[in-house]
Structure 1
């Protein structure tokens, strides 16, 4: 198989790929020691029989190699870019070049829409659709080391050659059952910049806490903002600055000086001095000085919901029936919390909109309004108009 190490060779391959209706893409990367993913390898293939000419490995670590020809291909709207579980791949390309592969096809999302269950793995699709085994022994190797072994290359190229058959099968099924718009609706989130941009001032929202104390949340917000900014600026994992449990401890103890900071049980040794320690103490002070009117608030809307338990149970039965009838996983249509929200009278929920509204939401509203009833015969649940 060909490993591309020059911009010229990449441009030649991308020119050939542009003459085909689709190209399959995958990446190998490392993120254990950095904030942003380090791209180590790109695999691409276009329609063919798997020979060297139509499936290649691209080495982004090769000296002098520019990925711009590939990004031009990503911008070419005449060629579908096919990925499996694309979120992390798309994040890499967006962060590195501000590029999204358009049009996009994600085989994991397509498989869920086609009834393969929730978050189906690539190996499962290879086995069920391509009827081939898949060697995953190189999955957790260090992709930044050179030279790559033959086993690594074989593993890597298999992630795009089998994907061609999977794409052709799933795209055909989607067209036959009229669900292509469903897939496009699901992919909107993946193609939104907001999915990949983490603003330090919003980092506190990712913390898991049940505390509603304004002062605690103010300090936690400032600490989370400092941690995110520090990690982004130095391209290091946020947990190497401080872990969540240490952040929560500091938001509770609110140290005002180095001596008090040193008493932390959970803070990493490296964070007890220097820039990180200074940043922590400044963040705590900023949180304590925050105007109470600006204190962050944890939404407790769910706690205030007046859920009708009988209606919630009926909605669960309806969802199960609709899911089985459509051949789509229940959780892809509606989550348990969404059903409770509907039973409490909320209407601005995803399961009542778009294709979910067609499959489930319309009848869910009719059930809430007393316009339909549910009957059961054996294991089959049917909807009856009243």
Structure 2
């Protein structure tokens, strides 16, 4: 098990990796104590039987820069293969403003190939590689050094089996002509907006029991301050104050440090210093928010005039398409998509791209009375009218 601890070693490996059609990649990181993930380990493997075809890269080593890896990520002659890539990509985007291209995500590909929704790596190893995984090192502190042999073995397994999984899924996609389906999904993963957390929009994630615009104005200011403070200081937002404390503050609307002292849910550290000042300022701004700038929840979906019978028919059609295509239902269309279509809406994900090929086109015909559904035994068939 080779561990690369210098930039020179990494550059040599990346130079040789550039000669292969693909490379498998995984990361280990910590996020419990920080806002942004702390990269602790990178695992790489090339399609070779060579003993050093899979390596560990230690980004915490003193003489290590990941620049050679980022250059390999930009090499479009080498496919970069991940499983459930979103968190990995976020790390590389935050660290170096780079996305691996071309990208292949085996979790996305597996959903398209009929393995179900958000299938796990362990499941793919078992079903495709016919092997099991030792997960005893799953919960570990990857920032501690030295790494044990058990940790290294666990980490390398995340890229060595991935080679066989990639080759199997790539062949299936080629056989079924579904490569463009996966490509559409991956466009979202390589869009920087996917990882752009805007503090002014943070309030939308806070669950409240009231839709009062004046109350939401205070929630919005508090959530924006918390998000910005967490980003700037690289601490989890819950370490600033939790959602229940935010709701309490929006309700009590403290005006002074002594008012903060009466909070039941606010952390002790948040009752003084910069956080306390930020809270009081945010509450004041929320209370003084002009009437024409008060935030409002998007209730447009609640006002949809859904045809319930048509919505039920669309669910039957979706089940039929799921069975015939082998693609997970939630990947094709959500329950919300179906209700929107039944209400006459057409600007939904299920009505564009590969989803339109699989489901949307017939869903539109069903809404227009151009097709009907018929049951024959356990199978639901589409019948043209």
TM-score relative to the length of structure 1: 0.98
The aligned residue for residue 322 of structure 1 is 321
**Cα distance in 2 between the residues matched to 1:95 and 1:107:** 22
Q: What do residues 258-298 of structure 1 show as CA deviations (whole Å, max 9, x unaligned)?
A: 22222222111211122111110000001111111111110
Q: Secondary structure at the match of 1:188?
A: helix
C-alpha contact 1:10 1:70 (8 A) present in aligned 2: yes
Deviates most, 195-204 or 143-152: 195-204
Distance in 1 of aligned mates of 2:191 and 2:228: 22
Within a 5 Å distance, the mapping from 1:122-137 to structure 2 comes to 122-137=121-136
1:36 matched to 2:36 = yes
The alpha-carbon deviation at position 208 of structure 1 amounts to 2.1
Name the residue aligned to 1:347. Answer: 346
Q: Distance in 1 between matches of 2:200 and 2:179?
A: 37
Task: Tell me the distance in 1 between the aligned counterparts of 2:337 and 2:248.
Answer: 32
Task: Tell me the alpha carbon deviations over residues 328-361 of structure 1, each in whole angstroms, 9 at most, x when there is no partner.
Answer: 0111100111101111111100001100000000
Q: Tell me the CA shift for residue 209 of structure 1.
A: 2.7
Query: What is the match of residue 113 of structure 1?
Result: 112
Q: Quote the offset at 1:11 in angstroms.
A: 0.3
Q: Deviations over 1:96-144 (max 9, x none)?
A: 0000000000000000000000000000000111111111110111000
Distance, in Å, in 2 between the alignment partners of 1:209 and 1:52 is 56
Q: What is the total number of aligned residue pairs between the two structures?
A: 385
d(CA) in 1 for partners of 2:329 and 2:229?
40
Unaligned 5+ segments in structure 2 are: none
Q: Residue 189 of structure 1 aligns to a residue in which SS? A: helix
- 1:327-338 to structure 2, matched below 5 A, reads 327-338=326-337
Q: What is the DSSP-based 3-state SS (H/G/I as helix, E as strand, rest coil) of the residue aligned with 2:42?
A: strand
Unmatched runs of 5 consecutive residues or more in structure 1: none
Partner of 2:160: 161
Q: State the partner residue of 1:20.
A: 20
Match of 1:276 in 2: 275
Structure 1 window deviating more from structure 2 (244-253 vs 165-174): it is 244-253
Q: Deviations over 1:173-216 (max 9, x none)?
A: 00110000000000111000011111111111222235221111
C-alpha distance in 2, partners of 1:133/1:4? 27
RMSD over aligned Cα atoms: 0.8
1:204-240 per-position Cα deviation (integer Å, ceiling 9, x unaligned):
1222235221111111111011101111111100000
Separation in structure 1 between the aligned mates of residue 35 and residue 334 of structure 2, nearest angstrom: 31
Partner of 1:147: 146
Task: Report the counterpart of residue 370 of structure 1 in structure 2.
Answer: 369
C-alpha distance in 2 between matches for 1:20 and 1:201: 44
**Contact 1:2–1:52 (Cα < 8 Å) also in 2:** no
Give the Cα–Cα distance (whole angstroms) in 1 for the partners of residues 255 and 170 of structure 2.
Answer: 59
2:312 matches 1:313: yes
Give the drift of 1:47. Answer: 0.4
Whole-angstrom distance in 1 between the partners of 2:235 and 2:148: 28
Matched, 1:186 2:176: no
Secondary structure of the residue aligned to 1:271 is helix
> Is 1:5–2:15 an aligned residue pair?
no
Structure 1 window deviating more from structure 2 (253-262 vs 2-11): it is 253-262
Match of 1:173 in 2: 172
Structure 1 residue 90 displacement after superposition: 0.2
Q: Is the 8 A contact 1:25 1:44 kept in 2?
A: yes
